[in-house]
A = this chain, B = another copy of it.
Amino acid sequence: MTEQTTRRGRPGYDLESLLAIAVQLFNERGYDGTSMEELSRKLGITKSAIYHHVPSKQELLRLAVDRALDGLFAVTEEPRSLEGRAIDRLEHVVRRSVAVLVERLPFVTLLLRVRGNTKVERAALARRREFDQLVTDLVKQAAADGDLRSDIDPAVTSRLLFGMINSVIEWYRPRGGITPDALADAVSTLAFAGLRVD
C-alpha cells in the first residue's frame, strides 16, 4: 500500500481495512496528534474519501475502543472466569486478558491511551472503569479466601497487576520473540510467584 498523490483508482478500502490503518496511525502519533490529512496520505486517498466510509474521526475512535473493550469483557464472561475458586478465576482472567491484549493489540493500545476529551472518550473510560471494577472484585474475593497475601491492599494489588498487564502494549510486538502463551506465563508467574528465588 504505497502513499501516492493525485491518484485515480480504487485502493478498495472497506471499513475494516481503513480502521486498521487509522488505529495504527493513532497509536503512533496519538489520536489528537493525528490529522485526517495525515491519515489520508497514509491510506493513499483524499481526506474527503475517508468520509465515505466513516462519518467522523471520532467514529473511528469509537469503533476501535469498543473492539478492545468487547474483547476484555468477553474474558470476564468465560466459564473459567465465573466458576471455581477466586484465585483460579483471577489467574484465568489475567492470562486471558494478556491474550486479548495481544490479539487485539492496536485496539487495546488505543483504548489505554484515551484521555477523556470527548463523549466517545468518556464513554470508553466509563466502560473501562466497569472492567476494572470486575477485576478488583475478583482480587478482593481471592484475598478474602486467604489465597492472596494480605499485606498489600487488594485494590492496590488489582491496580498494580493490571497496570503490569496493560504495560505490555508499550513493548509487545507480534514478531518480537515471545509468544502470547509465553507472555501470559511470564505475567502470571511474575504476579503470583514473584521474581526472587530463595
Inter-chain contacts of A185 with B (CB < 8 A): 152
Picked from B148, B161, B195, the residue with its CB within 8 Å of the CB of A149 is: B195
- Does any Cβ of B come within 8 Å of A16's Cβ? no
Q: A33-B117, A178-B153, A190-B194 are in contact. Are A159 and B171 (CB under 8 A)?
A: yes
Instruction: Please tell me if the beta carbons of B159 and A167 are within 8 angstroms of each other in the complex.
Output: yes
Instruction: Please tell me if the beta carbons of A192 and B196 are within 8 angstroms of each other in the complex.
Output: yes
Distance of A41 Cα from B144 Cα, bound (Å):
48
Distance of A151 Cα from B147 Cα, bound (Å):
23
Interface string of A46-81 (1 = CB under 8 A from B): 000000000000000000000000000000000000
Query: How many of chain A's residues have a CB under 8 angstroms from any CB in B?
Result: 46
Q: A160-B164, A167-B166, A171-B159 are in contact. Are A197 and B148 (CB under 8 A)?
A: yes
Instruction: Please tell me if the beta carbons of A187 and B167 are within 8 angstroms of each other in the complex.
Output: no
Instruction: Please tell me if the beta carbons of B170 and A156 are within 8 angstroms of each other in the complex.
Output: no
- Does any Cβ of B come within 8 Å of A191's Cβ? yes
- Does any Cβ of B come within 8 Å of A32's Cβ? yes
- Does any Cβ of B come within 8 Å of A113's Cβ? yes
- Does any Cβ of B come within 8 Å of A85's Cβ? no
Minimum distance in angstroms from A154 CB to a CB of chain B: 10
Of A29, A33, A87, most buried by chain B (CB within 10 Å of CB) is A33
Instruction: Please tell me if the beta carbons of A190 and B32 are within 8 angstroms of each other in the complex.
Output: no
- Does any Cβ of B come within 8 Å of A130's Cβ? no
